Amino acid sequence: MIKLNFNNLDEETQSYLHSLSKKDVESRYGKLLWEYAINHQLDYNKLVEDETIRNLYNYKYIFNI
């Protein structure tokens, strides 16, 4: 069994997974993050980016070799 994490992937794959993660975070938590950003006077895009990175490390990567 090969265990990989996000840092072991090539740049193109990282970019692709990052975009998927961002869409996932925005669809799941977008409204909550927006409200949190407004209430705490924070940058919404920064919050989404932080959650996107955090979300990437929760993925399980499966590869067909």
Q: pLDDT per residue over 24-60, tens digit each? A: 999 999 999 999 999 999 999 999 999 998 888 777 7
Residues counted in the chain:
65
Q: How many domains does the chain have?
A: 1
The pLDDT of residue 7 is above 70:
no
Residue 31 placed within a domain = yes
pTM of the model: 0.74
Host domain of residue 52: 6-56
Which residues fall within 8 angstroms of residue 39, CB to CB, at 6 or more apart? none
Q: pLDDT (tens digit, 9 = 90+) per residue, 18-27?
A: 898 999 999 9
Residue 34 placed within a domain = yes
Residue 63 placed within a domain = no
Residue 64 placed within a domain = no
Residue 40 placed within a domain = yes
What pLDDT score was predicted for residue 39? 96
